[in-house]
Amino acid sequence: MTGGVYAQEEAGLEEILSGFEDNQKSDEDLQEVMEGFEDEAQSEKKIEEMEEEEILEGFDEDTTEAQAAVPEKEYLPDFLSLDGYFKLGSSYNMYHHQAEGTDTEWHGLSRLRAKVVLELDAKFSESWQARVAGHGFYDFAYEIQGRDKFTQEVLDENENELEFDEVWLLGSITDRLDLKAGRQIVVWGKSDNIRVTDVLNPLDLREPGLTDLENLRLPVTMTKLDYFMWGLNLSAMVIHEIRYNKDPEFGSDFFPAAQALPTNETPDTGFDIDNSQFALALHGIFHGWDASLYGAYFYDDTPHFDNDSGGGPKLKHARVKMLGGAFNIAISNWLFKTEAAYFDGIRFFNSGKDFNRIDALVGAEYSGFTDTTLSFEIADRHILNFNSQIKEAPDFTEEDRWVSALRLTRTYLNQTLTLTILAQTFDLTGDDGAFQRFTAEYDLSDAIELTGGVVFYESGDLPRFRDVGENDRLYLEIKYNF
């Protein structure tokens, strides 16, 4: 469950800073090291840093044997820790089909990606820490299948990549005021599967349906201030980096058109106030329930045509205002959640006017069965000033767009094996498209994880689900944590 960062009512620095961490470790040493430094975007992730005792385990200056047992990380200063993983992931297209408007034939091996992720954490004091993380990958599938079979757009976006991920500095300015500056992820809302108020970070959608929402968010550069008062957390953000979704490219079997789209126009990224995005959030956690209020002025991830910029049509992203909220309440084995948001300034391809939209979500999660969690969420996106123009291609927009998600998760073998079924349906009857994913995750050891499964797609009226019915694929990944 995604959630905010909440401050405790006690005036002590330790309790104020504990609002950064929803999932604290019970070990007191780890709590002292990490307390106060978990961003709200990662409040549901386990802390993967090694404890100080583990780093120093077996080290004894008085004996030769202990010196020989110094861990591999001993070359780093005490205030630094380096973690990461290597992952080899593959996808196999089950049916032979052709990408629209191209000669690209999709069948068999479509992904064989070797990926390395590195994360360097620095703890300067009890109040200040930093992180530098990045990743790189190379996909061997294109070389194996023949690079000349794919469009240049697909090769540019999918064959290799090297970039920074989270890069930030975090610390306390006063007992009640914290600063976090740099590339980061900020999660809004309560839903695990459907975005309503979660608008600050774009998503990686190049191979949709293959992984959960929490693994799709892309970090953006921002300056974030958190103020704690009366058990509440007030967050103010200025987002300096303009970054959009990573969508399927022309020639991909998920690309919805027979020709490449125009150039995507992006304003200059930086500290220019005219191009900056702004966000404000108020979080509170209480006995058995929590609530949040949100406001944002940001660039819409979904583009529209702009014919007035000169040099031919371009894709442009509108500035959108959003006001919303989210609420959770736990009753016995049930967790009920709701979100709602009002959007002003949405633009479409077929209309030069602004549109307003209300998104609303309700959901429930039940954990009363042994080692099993069952959840269901449903949301409606309702356009207030709807007209028939935006029903036509390429918008294909309806006055109401329904989306639902049903998830069943069960663990076996002392929680080393996790089976998950996720069914996501667009429109009440699936007329807009759907997919079902069946996943098995197995912890082979403390360091090695195996993940495999299958995704079934159903074509629909949504542009991104047009003609995807033959995109069903098997996938297998092996991950080594170091």
Of 437, 469, 470, nearest to 453 by C-alpha is 437
pLDDT score for 392: 86
- The percent of residues above 70 in pLDDT, for the chain, comes to 83
* pLDDT at 295 > cutoff 80: yes
pLDDT, tens digit (0-9, with 9 covering 90-100), for 370-392 = 999 999 999 999 999 999 889 88
Question: In whole numbers, what is the pLDDT of the chain averaged over residues?
Answer: 86
Segment among 54-68, 213-227, 256-270, 435-449 with least mean pLDDT: 54-68
Counting Cβ atoms within 10 Å, is residue 125 exposed (0-12), middle (13-18) or buried (19+)?
A: exposed
Beta bridge pairs of residue 339: 326, 361
Q: Regarding predicted confidence, which is higher, 235 or 49?
A: 235
What is the number of domains present in the chain? 1
Tokens 């077929």 locate to 350
Under a CB-based contact definition with an 8 Å cutoff, are residues 296 and 200 in contact? Answer: yes
CA distance 397 to 378: 18
Q: What is the pLDDT of residue 240?
A: 95
pTM metric for this prediction: 0.82
Tens digit of pLDDT for each residue in 156-183?
A: 999 999 999 999 999 999 999 999 999 9
Name residue 338's amino acid: T
Q: Is 375 helix (H, G, I), strand (E, B) or coil?
A: strand
218 has pLDDT over 80: yes
- For 394-424, b/e burial (b = at least 16 CB within 10 A) is ebbbbeebbbbbbbebebeeeeeebbbebbb
Asked if 340 and 361 touch (Cβ cutoff 8 Å), the reply is yes
Place of tokens 């709807």: 386
Does any domain span residue 150?
A: yes
Residue 18 has a pLDDT of 43
The pLDDT tens digits for 77-136 are 999 999 999 999 999 999 999 998 898 999 999 999 999 999 999 999 999 999 999 999
- Distance, CA of 343 to chain centre: 21
Beta-strand ranges (E) seen in 207-313 are 220-229, 232-239, 277-286, 289-299, 304-306
CB atoms within 10 A of CB 288: 9
Residue 72 domain flag: no
| Residue 69 per-residue DSSP state | T
Confirm whether 440 is domain-assigned: yes
What would the mean pLDDT of 177-200 be, rounded to a whole number? 97
The predicted pLDDT at position 310 comes to: 59
Q: Please choose, from the candidates 33, 39, 37, 47, the residue with its C-alpha nearest in 3D space to the C-alpha of residue 2.
A: 39
Is residue 7 one of the residues assigned to a domain?
Answer: no
Is the residue at 239 inside a domain? yes
The verdict on residue 6 lying in a domain is: no
| Residue at 397 is within a domain | yes
Place 304 in a pLDDT band, splitting at 50, 70 and 90. Answer: confident
Domain that holds residue 318: 13-47+79-481
The answer to the question of residue 65 being in a domain is no
Q: Are 110 and 101 in contact (CB under 8 A)?
A: no
CATH number of domain containing 160: 2.40.160.100
pLDDT tens digits, 419-473: 999 999 999 999 999 999 999 999 999 999 999 999 999 999 988 898 899 999 9
How many percent of the chain have pLDDT more than 90?
71
